Structure 1
């Protein structure tokens, strides 16, 4: 007796028992008969499909090649060509038919596969194939192939519609504003995968195929953009810096001047890895946002100048009988610029958490150099060491400016090692402080409408008193043309523009003793002369004979040598270039003087 099992099944075991021989002869004969029948069946179906076989669900059992081909052409190829195909990408779709795409069943391959089914392999494999076919479990799939270029053209058309180029992020400052282009991923159809999906089919009816799309990354994607954009936006948040009851507001456009934005190549590992299926750029970039160190230093210095409440040194006032009285000193508050710079360097790049950012500036007590106690102790030791007097013609506006300006220095004490700077001590020159519009020399020309005109008389008077005493001169400038009420070559002009640029007069107390400045004005009474003024003549080149100058031009050098116990402390040369006025002659031979 023989048992035929399918692949994966084990033939039943034959148990030999002590049976009579007459019973054994019958099973052996039956096995031989079965084997003969199987061989006859294989021979009969050598050119036909096994009975019960299907191709894509179409029954083709027992058919020979011509009939099998005809059956497949009519029941597979025709319905397949008319079936619809929907290519889907999210909520977008493109619809066509298999026939329009030129996708056809490979009938030749299907016929060959059907005729070959169950006719190779071991006897056990062949027997199993027969059993599957007879039970209706044997089905041969069919493959598709593209005919012509319709399929490629359809996929290319969809690609033109669905592809999107990536957008690289852009971050820049323009006119104090932050200009951005947010990065966007691109998308590109994977043509090979899409074609393969269209050529694969599990049904002869209408079908839907998912479009295969790959993400395309720009050179600068969100991973290299978002953090930098957040930092730049944070840095431009309007700012208020406070010290006690004082504050300074800074606008976004002003803060933009501090910000530096750099686009750099990202090194390996600096940015997250891209998905394996994505299309990567040739190089990846990222933005780095920082603050300019030099501009931050300058800005913090300016903030300190605004927010500081400097200590006030004790001053001296003269009472009746030339008795010196002490005006008490006052402690102040000074911003710690080093700490403020470090604080702002971090804080400005953090999210503000609101429409405005407020920062408390680190500050400490600013102690006066000359305290009330020191001033009181100095009173008995003070003595007059140097004086200088200048005259000016009667003029209400010049008198207002000169008296107001000189009053700012009256009683000022310059401690040892300190530097006197005219504009730092004078303060703002504005009408509400008593200053008037008067004449001044601006860019080498007389201008009668300058606020504070005449203040050069104050600076010149102080300069001469100080230089005669031998103090170190730090800065001095001559007028554009010579003014005869000042010593030749020893005037000291001062100028400050609305933008803050300035020429000043400054000197340093290089002695171990404090210097007290007194401003004293005296008024002289006019005496009648019996003379009448001549008729006014316009002072210009047309009314001045050639070679005759109202004020002659000249170049003057004045030198000063300061000694102490035979040792030279200072040796200065003060150069003055005075241009001629109203067509005067060229500069006269240099005049030199020493004192």
Structure 2
């Protein structure tokens, strides 16, 4: 009796299990290589689809997501691109594998249970996306190329002795592309509609606010000269290289570097230059007056003097101890802006004078004076020197008188509200004494003009 009851209980269970197994095996055969019934991808039924059909279906279902707009922002600039354009693509292989695996994993009982549930409640599979960092980075780089990335100094000019702003300064934008790419990928993963790129603003060295505070020159110096067309031309050329030069705090001004070689191919002409105590024709004659005028303006602007050399003898346009000679490649005038504020240089040349103006933030109550002290006159040699000179016609001579030499020191005195706050030696000067010199001509005598076809 008990045995019969057991059979009556077990038999239906075994039969039911057999039916279930048979059904599962039948569906395995029917849906081999295809998605089982009751499977959806992003809410759309994909039951019975094979690999190629499933791949096409995944691509179609991913379309709306790939078309989602994503806005890149940096400073006041922005650009909107689609997720697809930013490197987002559906991972067809992984998504297909996930859909095909539904109801096919786990133990026999797990699979039976899952398939039974799927008949009543379909299982939804989400599309897996992949993100191409190279495409994202390139999209950011293209966007960044549209930005103004270099800081722009304020453009200024000088009108009637006052500095005025022509165009305002503009901050530069530097985008951290690697970090921005990481941010963008994270935003894409979470389907965020916008992402702010990682950037920093870089202020220019010369901002509009600084220029507005520099309307008046803090130092100005003028020298004069006799009119000589070639020499004036050289002065204009050298002075133009200095005009508009901005010196940020700590900047070094090298005269030779700014002005460059004084060569004919760069526009310089021959004019008198002082070489070895003698005035001789040379390329760029007159540029030393520019360097000397700059030297004095820089002293008054309280700039530091790192290198300066006086001429071999005093020059006519400045007191001894106030000049600064230069020779490209060997003798330079180097000045450093140690004022802690930007300085702006401006030059003006007329037919008879040169002015160097230095603009900077005003310092009320500050006065700078330049004095030459400790002057020691060195007597001229008593002997006479005879030289041959091919520039003088044969049979003629030229006598240059003896010249005394001089030693001195150039001192800068800085006062604040009338009180001396600093006194410093900025230059030591030595002008070599020269003996009486007789130059004997060895050159060709001047040709006499022919009277042939002469006009009365």
Same fold (TM over 0.5): no
Q: Whose RCO is larger (CA < 8 A, sep 6+)? A: 2
TM-score (norm 2): 0.41
Q: Answer 1 or 2: which has greater strand percent.
A: 2
The structure with more radius of gyration = 1
